[in-house]
Amino acid sequence: MDILTLNCGSSSVKYQLYRWSEKKVLSKGIVERVGIGGSFIDHYANGKGNFKFEHNCPDHKVAIKLIIDTLLDPEMGVIKDLKSIQGVGHRMVHGGEKFAKSVIIDDEFLKTFEALSDLAPLHNPPNLLGVRAAKELLPDIPHCAIMDTAWHQTMPRNAYIYSLPYEWYEKYRVRRYGFHGTSFLYVAKRAAVLLGKGSFDVNLIALHIGNGVSANAIKNGISIDTSMGLTPVEGLVMGTRAGDHDAGIDIYMMRKENLTVDQLDNILNKKSGILGITGKYTDRRDVEKAANEGDDRAKLAIDIETYRLKKYIGAYYFALGHVDAIIFTAGVGEMSSVIRGRTLDGLEEVGIVYDKRKNEISKTRNAETEITGEGSKVRIFVIPTDEELVFVEDTVALLEGRYDIHTNFRYSFEEPDYLNPAREEAIKSELEKKPELGEIIVRPPRKR
């Protein structure tokens, strides 16, 4: 059984083809610049390598058709015909309160999800476009929706209700929803394994740091608070999103600059964050390089981002009462020792101590590492996320009729002997070039 996963953004489609019986990735890639010109596909085929070429994709249907054609291509492909694909798992960003778990997509789902578009106007419409395009191209197999917000449906009311007129919640469902749910689900359950505890016996602070950034307080294995809100614009400093700020600024600047709602929306989502501070960078590698070369605003961006991360760790530390581990994940969290180190500096007073050498070594997407320092009361993990595996496992379980909400469902990666074959193979090559990585790779404790 092969499962195709699709993650449709406004101008991109990420994909992966996974062979369930062999527990391995056959292919993965992304089509970028969909609908804006200059589109191209960046494609990896297991055993064949990487391929990148331009192809005009005016819409998501053409992009998904390109993906299917590439998967079938004699030179670049990994399957002979479409019959091997038994299901499609779609990442759906905002499920509102309607969806607390993944579901099989039917006409009723599409109507309900479309009605939620107001809650995530930048995300839900392209998600829907992708679903409709994929269903048209692959009409004879089940399509499943994996909700980004579902993980956070366990939050208590005091965490998700805003101090705004309550009727806004009653009439329009204005509340905190949170995002990056599949990432948090994966790393939380992996952290429990690494700690040698049950999935619901751990208190964790998880930091998903990429272009989008959010923090998650996890108590007894479930989400009790998160930094993103009604939309993904609230919370931590992000690549282009503003994060936390005085809402009065928005009103003030609308009056000063005569901004429309759409113009302000564009500024908060696409022209703020790291880009807003530096004026030119979003990639943290560029920011760190510029800071090292003396760029004052790049230094400021790092200061602001890590200060905000530190504040959220403090808030969630006291909200949880006891913390077993802090987790760094996603592109920046996994690869930037600067962001991690600056975030953790000065937390010794509350028992959070990291090892500077281990932190510097930890730069891999193929192994789970530990950077905990001597005397720390809290363990510190760097766990490469695997959202696509969650998509796959949810889809397979839905097709087999055994899926349920994560508190009643067990994933393969919750097992102490779980291994990711592709990552295990890749880390061998990394260790040949960087043997010191072996010092910090963390494995689940052996059963006595």
**Closest C-alpha among 333, 406, 334 to residue 146:** 406
Strands (E), 266-421: 325-329, 369-370, 379-382
Angle at CA 112, nearest 5°, toward 106 and 118? 140
Q: Is 148 a catalytic residue?
A: yes
Distances, alpha carbon 289 to alpha carbons 209, 273, 284, 285, in Å = 18, 18, 8, 6
Q: Of all helices (H) and strands (E), which one includes residue 264?
A: helix 261-270
Q: Give me the catalytic one of 59, 81, 118, 148.
A: 148
Answer whether 382's CB lies under 8 Å from 360's CB: no
Answer whether 111's CB lies under 8 Å from 90's CB: no
Structure tokens at 446: 């052996």
Strands (E), 330-429: 369-370, 379-382
Angle at CA 43, nearest 5°, toward 37 and 44? 165
Phi, psi of 217 (to 5 degrees): -95, 125
Q: Of all helices (H) and strands (E), which one includes residue 12?
A: strand 12-19
Q: Round to whole Å and give the CA distance between 332 and 55.
A: 30
Answer whether 15's CB lies under 8 Å from 69's CB: no
Structure tokens at 168: 């806004």
Structure tokens at 427: 């880390």
Q: Round to whole Å and give the CA distance between 102 and 114.
A: 16
CB-based contacts of 178, cutoff 8 Å, min separation 6: 149, 151, 152, 155, 214, 216, 223, 226, 227, 228, 229
Report, as residue numbers or ranges, the catalytic residues.
148
